[in-house]
Amino acid sequence: QSALTQPASVSGSPGQSITISCTGTSSDVGDYNYVSWYQQHPGEAPKLLIYAVTTRPSGVSNRFSGSKSGNTASLTISGLQAEDEADYYCSSYTSSNTLVFGGGTMLTVL
């Protein structure tokens, strides 16, 4: 199974909105609503931001939102804050009953 495709890096200024894409295939992202997004700060374990494409776990800011169109899922962060600077990973359930991660996107807050 191939990793999902994410941009290596994105950047934005405080207060702006940014979107991170996550492209898979019809055997994973395109066929299941089991896409998740994780935030990882240096030296820490990843934190779940979004699951089931659009659902935020309790305690996650509503500045984070998820969507999906075809084989591509997206994470949007609105009202960018300095604390949002981190690595972001998407993942998807696959038709082989396995999981695949994206390669990760480094977000820089300018």
Partner 1 sequence: QVQLQESGPGLVKPSETLSLTCTVSGDSMSSYYWSWIRQPPGKGLEWIGFIYYSGSTSYNPSLRSRVTISIDTSKNQFSLKLTSVTAADTAIYYCARCTYGLDFHYWGQGSLVTVSS
Q: Specify which residues 72 forms β-bridges with.
A: 23, 69
Q: Which is nearer to partner 1, 17 or 96 (CB)?
A: 96
Residue 33 beta carbon to partner 1: minimum distance, rounded to whole angstroms: 8
Q: Which is nearer to partner 1, 17 or 55 (CB)?
A: 55
Q: Tell me the two tokens of residue 8.
A: 């290596």
Residue 51 beta carbon to partner 1: minimum distance, rounded to whole angstroms: 4
Give the count of alpha carbons within 13 A of 11, CB side only.
Answer: 3
Q: How many residues does the chain have?
A: 110
Q: Which is nearer to partner 1, 17 or 98 (CB)?
A: 98
Residue 17 beta carbon to partner 1: minimum distance, rounded to whole angstroms: 24
* CA 108 – CA 90 distance, rounded (Å): 17
* Cβ within 8 Å of residue 38, ≥6 positions away: 46, 47, 48, 49, 88, 89, 90, 91
Residue 75 beta carbon to partner 1: minimum distance, rounded to whole angstroms: 14
Give me the residues that bind partner 1 (CB under 8 A), please: 1, 3, 32-34, 36, 38, 45-48, 51-52, 57, 89, 91, 93, 96-104
